[in-house]
């Protein structure tokens, strides 16, 4: 699956999760900008896992800050699965 | 020796029934406990996020693999009692390393395998603090966590660091193993204390076996047909001692879910309880709450929880109404509310201090909040106007609980004071921290728990903490950590931040930090707020309400320290008085689209829930302390 497709689906999910209160782009910080709390982060990971049929390891999270970081990780996991 | 494969073909979980006669934790060391368990058929089973059985680890196999690993560890230039730090994911390797240490006379230390989104630096700093704190000689992480561990261990003098596969390269020493002896240290347990000042609790074989004996016999009354499910992490005392060692020491099978998988899909816990016909599971109140929020009524019909006879609750203040909701929701699945067993305990006492009687369920004391706050008395009140606190049962056999005032007098029943405990489960001290140890442990063996509460007919009731720690979404949060993050910002200086918790939406606790600064420019204020919010989340994994106030606003104590409790009272007063006109962050931030996330939501909801006072354990008034 292409990065662009993952990115747009991710942005879509984030819009739903944040109830469309703000715009979401590649550089949007998940915590810094969207202020997701730990339970919302879990919800987001769950959505990603279910939608792309992947398992996101906990160990990648420390290096995910922006929407782009997460999309890149998801792309990797999708291509490896 | 060839490594015995983890997975047999078409894996079946280890059985519940065991041909081996049940011995209820009457061992003198953990190694001896595993030696006995290895004679039977039971063991540990690990499930993947998709709910599939990934690995079956019979205790028999665990013993053989741990013995091999023990001989490999002894090839390293380390002394007896050296600390072996292990990033403790929920997988068989943690158990192998833990018991290899038992067989080799080494001391295992579980490191957290949990980091927050974007929290790379904070996680590495935390691991480094722990490696240094315990003076680790050896460190292990899976290939996924290795890079963090390597970064954390940079320039530290370790004899070996690697993945489980790296340890397999070590040569087995052909020596007779000297198991860890009853008076030797069984493990170090890092308390979920402030990340800035980690404290490693030293637990001897005698201590942990004393606790296991009490828990297995008195606490849960272990039976031959018992089986356990757990999603608690091994770097937590309830996960390590309650949901791992207790099962080995009573030769029962256990089924493990990864903590993160549970947090994402809490229904898996109940699905697994159903399929395995599990009889025992423990969780902090947070876990029961998460389930009740996520379970759909349609799900309930699929569950059969009728075998669940011990639903242990501990590690956090217990709110009865949450448990009630869980029980009502799952009653159609056969869940019996009398299965609830509220407990009290802490790593400093190996694990447990008290257990409620089995088959009793949750007993709530309704007490007068004014009497509690003003006179430190538990005066019975009615359901409507009282604060509800849960009975956590009597001290385990062989252990004592006493309530002390600040002048070291023992208080009678229904008088609120410091909870102290004494008995064979109590720690030897904090590793390498004689001053901290001296503050916590008296010469005659009383451990100051850091909690406050009262006794009623022998049962302990916890009403609060005289330590400042609070708990958000199951995480222990120390205000010092939030303040430290605030005060390192270039705009701020030391003593500019005061953190505490306050009632939020649905009356659960939310973290609040009041920050004083001289910034007037709204863009700068917004920038500071946003940065603070992000850094607190990266480091501590929680959202924090941030209030900016002018300099010289924060109240101080007579000795010049910031007073968190006075700041909290002021904050709540401002919140109540100013109502909608008070901005949590500041009014310009509220209009900023980029910040319109949960900070604002938190605030709006928090306002709706401003102290109802009554019926809200750990609410405003109940936070009174004897200090």
A46-79, pLDDT tens digit by residue?
A: 999 989 999 999 999 999 999 999 999 999 999 9
In this prediction, residue B197 carries a pLDDT of: 75
Query: Under a CB-based contact definition with an 8 Å cutoff, are residues B66 and B100 in contact?
Result: yes
Q: What Rg do the C-alpha atoms of chain A give, in angstroms? A: 11
B178-204, pLDDT tens digit by residue?
A: 999 999 999 999 985 566 678 999 999
Q: What is the mean pLDDT of residues B513-528?
A: 92
Q: What is the mean pLDDT of residues B286-297?
A: 90
Q: What Rg do the C-alpha atoms of chain B give, in angstroms? A: 24
- Is the per-residue pLDDT at B595 higher than 70? no
The strand pair at B53-58 and B417-422 is best described as unpaired
Rounded CA gap, B73 and B108, in Å? 12
- B585 or B65, higher pLDDT: B65
Return the residue in B89, B114, B118 with the most chain A beta carbons within 10 A, the one to mutate for interface testing.
Answer: B118
A18 interface with B at CB cutoff 8 Å: yes
The 10 Å CB-count burial string (b at 16+, else e) for B496-533 is bbbbbbbbbeebbbbbbbbbbbebeeeeebbebbbbbb
Residue B9 lies in a domain: no
Which CATH number do you get for residue B414?
A: 2.30.38.10
**Best-predicted range by mean pLDDT (B252-261, B365-374, B591-600):** B252-261
What mean pLDDT value characterizes chain B?
87
What residue spans of B422-540 are helical by DSSP H?
434-440, 479-487, 522-540
A72 interface with B at CB cutoff 8 Å: no
Query: Under a CB-based contact definition with an 8 Å cutoff, are residues A60 and A71 in contact?
Result: no
User: In the CATH scheme, what is the code of domain A3-80?
Assistant: 1.10.1200.10
Residue B306 lies in a domain: no
Q: Minimal Cα–Cα distance from A26 to chain B, Å?
A: 14
Are the Cβ atoms of A46 and B265 closer than 8 angstroms?
yes
Are the Cβ atoms of A42 and B534 closer than 8 angstroms?
no
Residue B299 lies in a domain: no
Are the Cβ atoms of B534 and A32 closer than 8 angstroms?
yes
In this prediction, residue B596 carries a pLDDT of: 31
Residue B214 lies in a domain: no
If asked whether residues B50 and B178 sit together in one domain, one would say yes
B379-405, pLDDT tens digit by residue?
A: 998 877 788 899 999 999 999 999 999
Tokens standing for residue B614: 């009554």
Are the Cβ atoms of B594 and A38 closer than 8 angstroms?
no
- pLDDT above 90 covers what percent of chain B? 68
* Pick from B113, B120, B595: CB nearest A58: B113
In this prediction, residue B237 carries a pLDDT of: 93
Phi and psi at B441, nearest 5°, equal -115, 125
If asked whether residues B475 and B612 sit together in one domain, one would say yes
- Is the per-residue pLDDT at B614 higher than 60? no
The tally of CA atoms less than 13 A away on the side-chain side of residue B491 is: 20
Residue B355 lies in a domain: no
- Is the per-residue pLDDT at B610 higher than 80? no
Please give the residue of chain B at the shortest CA–CA distance from A41. B117
Rounded CA gap, B599 and B584, in Å? 8
- Is the per-residue pLDDT at B560 higher than 90? no
Edge-first strand order for the sheet with B447-456 is B400-404, B417-422, B447-456, B459-465
Q: How would you class B182 by CB atoms within 10 Å of its CB: exposed for 0-12, middle for 13-18, buried for 19 or more?
A: middle
DSSP B111-126: EP----TT-HHHHHHH
- The structural domain count of chain B equals 3
Q: Minimal Cα–Cα distance from A5 to chain B, Å?
A: 23
pTM above 0.90, yes or no: no
The 8-class DSSP code of residue A20 comes to T
Are the Cβ atoms of B593 and A22 closer than 8 angstroms?
yes
- Is the per-residue pLDDT at B234 higher than 60? yes
In this prediction, residue B623 carries a pLDDT of: 29
* Pick from B148, B263, B475: CB nearest A42: B263
Rounded CA gap, B339 and B275, in Å? 18
Enclosing domain of residue B77: 30-205+232-254
If asked whether residues B490 and B423 sit together in one domain, one would say no
If asked whether residues B77 and B174 sit together in one domain, one would say yes
- CA nearest neighbour of A49 among A17, A23, A20, A10: A10
pLDDT band, very low/low/confident/very high, at B238 (cuts 50, 70, 90)? very high
| ipTM, 2 dp | 0.93
Residue B269 lies in a domain: no
Rounded CA gap, B344 and B450, in Å? 13
By a Cβ cutoff of 8 Å, what residues of chain B touch chain A?
48-50, 113-120, 123, 142, 144-145, 148, 260, 263-265, 473, 475, 530-531, 533-534, 537-538, 541-543, 593-599
Q: How far is residue A75 from each of residues A53, A59, B48, B117, B120, measured CA to CA in Å?
A: 12, 16, 21, 18, 21
Are the Cβ atoms of B596 and A21 closer than 8 angstroms?
yes
Among B117-121, B302-306, B597-601, where is mean pLDDT lowest? B597-601
pLDDT band, very low/low/confident/very high, at B626 (cuts 50, 70, 90)? very low
In this prediction, residue B466 carries a pLDDT of: 63
Local structure of A34: helix, strand or coil:
coil
Chain B residues in contact with A63 (beta carbon < 8 A): 118, 120
If asked whether residues B433 and B477 sit together in one domain, one would say no
In this prediction, residue B35 carries a pLDDT of: 98
- Is the per-residue pLDDT at B592 higher than 50? no
Please give the residue of chain B at the shortest CA–CA distance from A46. B264
If asked whether residues B48 and B176 sit together in one domain, one would say yes
- B370 or B171, higher pLDDT: B171
**Best-predicted range by mean pLDDT (B428-442, B453-467, B472-486):** B428-442
Please give the residue of chain A at the shortest CA–CA distance from B293. A39
If asked whether residues B455 and B484 sit together in one domain, one would say no
- Is the per-residue pLDDT at B619 higher than 80? no
Using the Cα atoms of residue B583, residue B584, residue B589 and residue B592 in order, give the sign of their dihedral: negative
Query: Under a CB-based contact definition with an 8 Å cutoff, are residues B297 and B291 in contact?
Result: no
Residue B263 lies in a domain: no
A74 interface with B at CB cutoff 8 Å: no
A42 interface with B at CB cutoff 8 Å: yes
If asked whether residues B515 and B417 sit together in one domain, one would say no
Query: Under a CB-based contact definition with an 8 Å cutoff, are residues A41 and B127 in contact?
Result: no
Please give the residue of chain A at the shortest CA–CA distance from B598. A35
In this prediction, residue B77 carries a pLDDT of: 97
Query: Under a CB-based contact definition with an 8 Å cutoff, are residues B491 and B519 in contact?
Result: yes
Residue B405 lies in a domain: yes
Query: Under a CB-based contact definition with an 8 Å cutoff, are residues B426 and B348 in contact?
Result: yes
Rounded CA gap, B332 and B622, in Å? 35
* Pick from B48, B120, B542: CB nearest A63: B120
Rounded CA gap, B14 and B61, in Å? 11
Cross-strand partners of B283:
B313
Using the Cα atoms of residue B308, residue B310, residue B316 and residue B321 in order, give the sign of their dihedral: positive
Are the Cβ atoms of A49 and B49 closer than 8 angstroms?
yes
Are the Cβ atoms of B598 and A42 closer than 8 angstroms?
no
Are the Cβ atoms of A40 and B598 closer than 8 angstroms?
yes
* Sequence spans of domains, chain A: 3-80
B523-556, pLDDT tens digit by residue?
A: 999 999 999 999 998 888 888 999 999 988 898 8
- CA nearest neighbour of B598 among A23, A39, A62, A48: A39
Chain B residues in contact with A21 (beta carbon < 8 A): 593, 596-597
- 3-state DSSP helix/strand/coil percent for chain B, to nearest 5? 35, 25, 40
């Amino acid at each position: 699956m292409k990065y662009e497709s993952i990115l747009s689906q991710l942005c879509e999910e984030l819009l739903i999760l944040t109830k469309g209160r703000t715009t979401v782009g590649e550089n949007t910080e998940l915590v810094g900008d969207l202020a997701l709390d730990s339970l919302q982060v879990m919800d987001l990971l769950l959505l990603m896992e279910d939608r792309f049929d992947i398992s996101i390891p906990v160990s990648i999270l420390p290096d995910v800050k922006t929407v782009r970081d997460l999309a890149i990780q998801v792309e990797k996991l999708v291509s490896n699965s | 020796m060839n490594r015995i494969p983890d997975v047999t073909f078409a894996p079946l979980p280890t059985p519940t029934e065991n041909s081996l006669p049940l011995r209820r934790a009457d061992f003198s060391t953990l190694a001896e406990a595993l030696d006995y368990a290895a004679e039977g058929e039971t063991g540990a089973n690990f499930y993947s996020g998709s709910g599939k059985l990934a690995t079956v680890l019979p205790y028999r196999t665990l013993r053989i693999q741990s013995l091999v690993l023990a001989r490999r560890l002894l090839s390293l230039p380390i002394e007896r009692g050296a600390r072996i730090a292990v990033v403790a994911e929920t997988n068989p390797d943690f158990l192998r390393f833990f018991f290899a240490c038992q067989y080799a006379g080494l001391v295992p230390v579980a490191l957290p395998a949990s980091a927050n989104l974007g929290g790379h630096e904070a996680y590495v700093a935390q691991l480094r603090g722990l490696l240094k704190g315990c003076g680790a000689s050896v460190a292990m992480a899976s290939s996924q966590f290795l890079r963090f561990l390597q970064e954390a261990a940079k320039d530290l003098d370790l004899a070996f660091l690697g993945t489980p596969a790296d340890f397999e390269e070590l040569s087995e020493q052909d020596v007779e193993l000297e198991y860890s002896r009853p008076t030797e240290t069984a493990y170090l347990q890092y308390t979920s204390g402030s990340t800035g000042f980690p404290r490693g609790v030293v637990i001897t074989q005698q201590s942990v076996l004393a606790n296991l004996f009490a828990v297995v016999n008195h606490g849960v009354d272990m039976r031959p047909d018992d089986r356990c499910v757990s999603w608690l992490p091994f770097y937590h005392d309830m996960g390590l001692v309650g949901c791992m060692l207790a099962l080995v020491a009573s030769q029962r099978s256990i089924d493990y879910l990864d903590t993160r998988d549970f947090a994402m899909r809490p229904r898996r816990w109940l699905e697994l309880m159903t399929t395995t016909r599990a009889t025992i599971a423990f969780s902090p109140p947070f876990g029961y709450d998460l389930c009740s929020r996520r379970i759909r009524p349609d799900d309930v019909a699929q569950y059969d929880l009728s075998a669940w006879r011990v639903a242990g609750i501990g590690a956090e203040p217990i709110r009865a109404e949450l448990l009630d909701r869980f029980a009502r929701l799952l009653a159609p699945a056969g869940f019996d509310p009398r299965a609830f067993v509220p407990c009290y305990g802490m790593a400093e006492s190996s694990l447990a201090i008290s257990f409620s009687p089995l088959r009793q369920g949750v007993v709530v004391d309704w007490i007068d909040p004014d009497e509690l706050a003003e006179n430190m008395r538990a005066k019975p009140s009615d359901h409507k106007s009282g604060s509800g606190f849960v009975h956590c049962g009597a001290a385990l056999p062989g252990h004592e609980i006493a309530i002390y005032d600040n002048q070291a007098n023992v208080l009678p029943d229904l008088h609120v004071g410091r909870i102290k405990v004494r008995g064979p489960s109590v720690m030897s001290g904090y590793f390498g921290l004689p001053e901290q140890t001296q503050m916590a442990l008296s010469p005659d063996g009383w451990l100051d728990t850091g909690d406050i509460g009262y006794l009623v007919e022998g049962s302990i009731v916890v009403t609060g903490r005289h330590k400042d720690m609070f708990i958000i979404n199951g995480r222990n949060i120390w205000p010092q950590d939030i303040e430290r993050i605030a005060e390192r910002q270039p705009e701020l200086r030391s003593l500019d931040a005061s953190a505490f918790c306050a009632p939020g939406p649905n009356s659960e606790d939310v973290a609040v930090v009041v920050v004083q600064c001289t910034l007037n420019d709204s863009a700068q204020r917004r920038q500071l707020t946003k940065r603070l919010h992000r850094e607190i989340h990266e480091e501590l994994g929680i959202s924090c309400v941030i209030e900016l106030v002018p300099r010289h606003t924060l109240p101080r104590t007579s000795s010049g320290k910031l007073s968190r409790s006075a700041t909290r009272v002021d904050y709540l007063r401002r919140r109540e008085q100013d109502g909608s006109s008070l901005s949590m962050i500041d009014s310009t931030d509220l209009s900023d689209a980029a910040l319109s996330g949960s900070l604002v939501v938190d605030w709006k909801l928090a306002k709706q829930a401003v102290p109802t006072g009554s019926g809200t354990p750990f609410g405003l008034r109940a936070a009174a302390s004897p200090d």
